[in-house]
Structure 1
Amino acid sequence: MQTAVKSQPRQPLLSRLWASLLQHKWMYVLALPGVLYFILFKFVPFWGLLIAFKEYNPYKGLWGSPWIGFTNFTELFASQIFYDMLRNTFAINIFGIIFMFPVPIILAIMLNEVRHEVFKRINQSIVYLPHFLSWVVVASMTFFMLSTDVGIVNKIISGMGFETVSFLSNSNYFWGLITLQSMWKEVGWGTIIFLAAIAGVDPGQYEAAVMDGASRMKQIWHITIPAIRPTIIILLILRLGHMADVGFEQVLLMNNPLVTSVSQVFDTYAYTIGILGGKISVGVTVGMFKGVVGLILVLLSNYTVKKLGQEGIY
C-alpha cells in the first residue's frame, strides 16, 4: 500500500528572497558600491536625454522648455561639420584598432615569456607607469619633443642639416600622433587583462608541449593565443562599441587652429557648442547619437562574432 507523501508548502516569494539576501549578505555588500555607481551615474542621468528633443533654456528648466521634436537631429545631420566629425572620429578609432589594439596582446605574451621574476616586475612597472600620467603631462611632453622651435626631435633634425618638420601643426600627422600618444600611455595598462587571462592557462599544457618537442613559438601559437582568444574577442567587441568616442582631453589639448579640419570630433564639438556656446540641446543630441551608434556597433559585432562560431558577450 503506497502512502502519499505530503509536499511541503512553498514559502512566499518575498520570504525566499529575504532568506537568500541574508544568506549572501556579504556578497551584496561587496557589490553595493558598483551598483550605486551605475544607478547614480548611468541610469539617473537618463532623464537628461529629453533635452535633445527640446529647445532647452536653463532659466525655464527642463519641463518649461518647449518641445521641438527631432529638429536638433535633423540640423546636426544636415550640417557639413557632422560628416567631418564622423570621418575624424572613425579614422582615429580605426587607427587605434589597427595599430594599438594588438600591441597589449603582444606585450603581454612577451612579458609572460620572461623567466626572471625581478626583471619581469621591473618591466611591468615601467610599462604601467604612463597610464597614471594626466593628458596635460603627456601633451606637454609631446610639445617638448616635437615642437618646431624647442622640440628635441626638430633640434636633432636641424642639427643633421635638414629642415624642421611641423609635427604639431601639420594636419597630415595629427591622427598618427594621437594614436602614438595613446599607445605610449595606455598599452602597458592594457596588458593587465591579457596577463590575467594567460595566468589561467593550465601549466600542464605547456609541459605536454615541451615533452612533444614544441618550441616556445609553437607553444605561444597553439596554447597561449587560443587560451586568450575569448578575452581578445570580448575586448574587441567592447572596443568597437566605443568607435564614436575619442579621448576628449587628449584631442582638446592637442588641437590648434591649423589642424581643426582633422581634429574636430563629437566630444570636442559637444563641448564647444554645448558648454562654451550655450547650446546645451545640441550637445546632448551629439551625446545621444554617440550612444546609439555605440549600441548598434556592439550588437552588430557581437552578432558577427557568434556567427563565426565564437563566444560573444551574451
Structure 2
Amino acid sequence: MLIARLMRNRWLYLMVLPGLLYFLIFKYWPMYGIFIAFKDYQPYLGFWDSPFVGFKHFDRLFSDPNFIVLFRNTFILALYNILFFFPLPILVALMLNELRHELSKRIVQTLVYIPHFMSWVVVVGIAYMFLTTEGGFINVLLEKLGGEKVTFLVSNEWFRTIITTEVMWKETGWGTIIFLAALSGVDPQLYEAARMDGANRLRQLWHITLPAIRSTIIILLILRLGHFLDTGFEQIFLMLNAMNREVGEVFDTYVYAVGISQGQYSFSTAVGLFKSIVGLILVVLANRLAKKFGEEGIY
C-alpha cells in the first residue's frame, strides 16, 4: 500500500524533495554543532576531542555583568519590531487590496518591494545621508525651519527608533506578499452579500477581510516569535558607535565582539543556543495560546 501510494503521488513527492533536502542539509544536519556549547572547543583538537566543560559557557554568560544590559537592549528592539513592524505589512496589504486600479496597484507594490533587495550597507548609508549633522537632509530642514541640529546618529534616545524605522522601510513591502496572497483567497461573493446587506467598506474590512486572514496573521506572529531575540547583526553593527553602544549592544553584536573576533566559538554557540531556547519557549507558549482561542496554530 505504501509503495502504491508513493508511486501514485510520485510527482508531488518529487516537488517536495528539493525543499526537504534543503532543510536536512542546511538546517538539521548542522545542528550537531550546538554540542560545542558544552565543550571548550579547540580547532586543532577537533569537535570530538575538545574537552567537555558542561554549562561553563552558560554560567559565564549569565554571570556576565553585561548580560542584563544585552538582554534589555535585545528585548526592547525585538518588542519594537513586534509592535511597530509586524502590523505594518498587514496594513499595507489591506490598503493595496482596496486599490481597484491594477496599474496603480502594481506600481505601488513594486515601489514598496524594492527596499527589500537593498543590502543593509546601502540602507544604513541612506540613513546616514538623511540623519548626519553635517549636511544631512533632516538637520538641514530643521535649520531652515528655525530649529537646532539633532545628533541622531550618536543619540541613545533615537537609536531604537532609527533601527525600527529602517526595518519598517526595508522589509514592509516584502512582508505584504503573504498577506496579499491570503487576501486573494477571500471569496468575492462574501463582499457582494455584504454590500447587499448595506455594509460599507469599513464593515466589509472588519467582518470579512480581517477574519479571512486572521489565521495567517497568527501563524506568522508565532513564527516571528521564534526569532524574537534575532535583532539582526549587520544593521545594528553598522549603526553602532561609542556614543550609542549603551542602548545598541545586543546579543548578536556581543557574540561577534567576544565570541567570533576572539575565537571563542563555544561561548558564541552558547549564546546562540540560549537565544534559540528562548524562541522555542515563546513559540510553544504562543501556539498554546492560539489554540486556546480556537485557532489552529502551527502544530
For this structure pair, what is the TM-score category when the shorter chain's length is used for normalisation?
over 0.9
How far apart in 2 are the matches of 1:34 and 1:271?
30
Deviations 1:111-144 (Å, cap 9, x if unpaired)? Answer: 1111111111111111111111111100000001
Find the partner of 1:260 among 224, 230, 245: 245
Which residue among 230, 234, 244 is the counterpart of 1:249? 234
- State yes or no: 1:210 paired with 2:195: yes
Residues 95-134 of structure 1 aligned to structure 2 (within 5 Å) = 95-134=80-119
Mapped to 2, the partners of 1:114 and 1:182 lie a distance apart of 25
For 1:23 and 1:293, locate their aligned partners in 2 and report how far apart those are by CA, in whole Å. 42
Matching of residue 30 in structure 1 with residue 15 in structure 2: yes
Shift of 1:290: 0.8
State how far apart, in whole Å, the 2-side matches of 1:309 and 1:40 are: 35
1:74-223 equivalences in 2 (<5 Å): 74-223=59-208
CA contact (8 A) 1:273 1:280 kept: no
1:17-62: CA deviations, max 9, x gaps?
3333322222222112111111111111111111111111111111
Give the structure 2 partner of residue 73 of structure 1. Answer: 58
Note the C-alpha offset of 1:83: 1.3
CA distance in 1, matches of 2:40, 2:209: 55
C-alpha contact 1:105 1:191 (8 A) present in aligned 2: yes
Residues 143 and 151, structure 1, Cα contact 8 Å, conserved in 2: yes
Match of residue 28 from structure 2: 43
CA distance in 2 between partners of 1:46 and 1:109 (Å): 39
How far off is 1:162 after superposition? Answer: 2.2
Q: CA RMSD in A?
A: 1.1
Give yes or no for contact 1:53–1:68 (8 Å, CA) kept in 2. yes
Separation in 2 of the partners of 1:105 and 1:264? 30
Q: Which runs of 5+ in 1 are unaligned?
A: 1-15
Compute the displacement of 1:308 (Å).
2.2
Task: Return the offset for 1:81.
Answer: 1.3
Percent pairwise identity: 54
**Contact 1:104 1:190 (C-alpha < 8 Å) held by counterparts:** yes
Q: CA deviation at 1:271?
A: 1.6
Matched, 1:56 2:41: yes
Distance between the aligned counterparts of 1:102 and 1:179, measured in 2?
13
| Count of residues in correspondence between the two structures | 299
Give the structure with higher Rg (CA).
1
Deviations 1:168-210 (A, max 9, x none): 1001111111110000011111111111111111111100111
- Greater CA deviation, 273-282 or 294-303? 273-282
**CA positional deviation for 1:295:** 0.5
TM norm structure 2 = 0.97
TM-score, length-normalised on structure 1? Answer: 0.92
Counterpart residue identity of residue 224, structure 2: R
